[in-house]
Homo-oligomer: A and B are copies of this chain.
Amino acid sequence: MSQVDTQLEELKSEIEAEIPSTISITDVKYEGPELVVYTRDPKEFAGDGNLVRQLASKLRKRITVRPDPDVLSRPGEAREKVMDVIPEEAGVEDLDFHEDTGEVVIEAEKPGMVIGRHGSTLREITREVGWTPEVVRTPPIESSTVSNVRNFLKQERQERREILERVGRQIHREEMADEQWVRITTLGCCREVGRAAFILNTAETRVLVDCGDKPGAEGEVPYLQIPEALGAGAQNLDAVVLTHAHLDHSALIPLLFKYGYDGPIYCTEPTRDLMGLLTLDYLDVAAKEGRTPPYDSAQVREAIKHCIPLEYGDVTDIAPDLKLTFHNAGHILGSAVSHFHVGDGLYNVAFSGDIHYDDTRLFNGAVNDFPRVEALVMESTYGGRNDYQTDQEDSERRLIEVINEAHEKGGKVLIPAFAVGRSQEIMLVIEEAMRTGKIPEMPVHLDGMIWEATAIHTTYPEYLRDDLQDRIFHEDENPFLADQFNHIDGGEDERQEVVDEGPSIILSTSGMVTGGPIMSWLRHLGSDQDSTLTFVGYQAQGTLGRRIQNGWDEIPVSDFGSNRDGRGSKLTLKMDVETVDGFSGHADREGLMNFVRNMSPRPEKVLCVHGDESSVQDFSSALYHEFNMRTFAPKNLETFRFK
The interface stretch among A572-580, A583-591, A622-630, A634-642 is: A634-642
Contact between A639 and B185, CB atoms less than 8 A apart: yes
**What is the 8 Å Cβ interface bit string for chain A, positions 49-63, against chain B (1 contact, 0 not)?**
000000000000000
Question: Which residues of B are found within 8 Å of A236, using beta-carbon distances?
Answer: 227, 231
Q: Is A232 an interface residue (CB 8 A)?
A: yes
Question: Which residues of B are found within 8 Å of A232, using beta-carbon distances?
Answer: 227, 231-233
Q: Is A183 an interface residue (CB 8 A)?
A: yes
Q: Is A181 an interface residue (CB 8 A)?
A: yes
Contact between A637 and B231, CB atoms less than 8 A apart: no
Question: Which residues of B are found within 8 Å of A228, using beta-carbon distances?
Answer: 226-228, 639
Closest to A181 in B: B637
Provide the bound-state CA to CA distance between A374 and B181, in Å: 30
Question: Which residues of B are found within 8 Å of A226, using beta-carbon distances?
Answer: 228
| Oligomeric state, in copies | 2
- A641 and B638 in contact, given A227-B236, A236-B227 (Cβ under 8 angstroms): yes
Cβ 8 A contact of A641, one of B183, B233, B635: B635
Closest to A182 in B: B637
Q: Least Cβ distance of A16 to chain B in Å?
A: 41
Chain A binding surface, main DSSP class: mixed
Q: Least Cβ distance of A419 to chain B in Å?
A: 32
Provide the bound-state CA to CA distance between A227 and B183, in Å: 13
Contact between A637 and B183, CB atoms less than 8 A apart: yes
Cβ 8 A contact of A637, one of B233, B636, B639: B639
Provide the bound-state CA to CA distance between A260 and B236, in Å: 20
Residues A157-195 near B (CB distance < 8 A)? 181, 183, 185
Provide the bound-state CA to CA distance between A314 and B183, in Å: 38
Residues A217-233 near B (CB distance < 8 A)? 226-228, 231-233
Residues A228-275 near B (CB distance < 8 A)? 228, 231-233, 236
**What is the 8 Å Cβ interface bit string for chain A, positions 611-635, against chain B (1 contact, 0 not)?**
0000000000000000000000001
Q: Least Cβ distance of A197 to chain B in Å?
A: 15
Q: Least Cβ distance of A490 to chain B in Å?
A: 44
Question: Which residues of B are found within 8 Å of A227, using beta-carbon distances?
Answer: 206, 227-228, 231-232, 236
Provide the bound-state CA to CA distance between A485 and B478, in Å: 99
**Most B Cβ at <10 Å: residue of A227, A228, A231:** A227
Closest to A640 in B: B638
Residues A432-460 near B (CB distance < 8 A)? none
Provide the bound-state CA to CA distance between A641 and B632, in Å: 13
Question: Which residues of B are found within 8 Å of A206, using beta-carbon distances?
Answer: 227
Contact between A638 and B639, CB atoms less than 8 A apart: yes
Provide the bound-state CA to CA distance between A185 and B637, in Å: 10
Closest to A199 in B: B227
Question: Which residues of B are found within 8 Å of A639, using beta-carbon distances?
Answer: 185, 228, 637-639
Provide the bound-state CA to CA distance between A636 and B636, in Å: 19
Provide the bound-state CA to CA distance between A227 and B203, in Å: 11
Q: Least Cβ distance of A221 to chain B in Å?
A: 11
Question: Which residues of B are found within 8 Å of A640, using beta-carbon distances?
Answer: 638
Question: Which residues of B are found within 8 Å of A231, using beta-carbon distances?
Answer: 227, 232, 236
Provide the bound-state CA to CA distance between A228 and B229, in Å: 9
Q: Least Cβ distance of A423 to chain B in Å?
A: 36
Closest to A179 in B: B223
Q: Least Cβ distance of A426 to chain B in Å?
A: 39
Question: Which residues of B are found within 8 Å of A183, using beta-carbon distances?
Answer: 637-638
Q: Least Cβ distance of A643 to chain B in Å?
A: 9
Provide the bound-state CA to CA distance between A285 and B305, in Å: 56
Of the A-B pairs whose beta carbons lie under 8 Å apart in the complex, a sample of 10, sorted by A's number, is A183-B638, A185-B639, A206-B227, A227-B231, A228-B228, A228-B639, A231-B236, A232-B232, A635-B641, A639-B639
Which are the 8 A-B pairs with shortest beta-carbon distances?
A639-B639, A232-B232, A227-B227, A227-B232, A635-B641, A231-B232, A637-B641, A638-B641
Known contacts A226-B228, A231-B236; 18 further A-B pairs (Cβ under 8 A): A181-B637, A183-B637, A227-B227, A227-B231, A227-B232, A227-B236, A228-B228, A228-B639, A231-B232, A232-B232, A232-B233, A635-B641, A636-B641, A637-B641, A638-B638, A638-B639, A638-B640, A638-B641
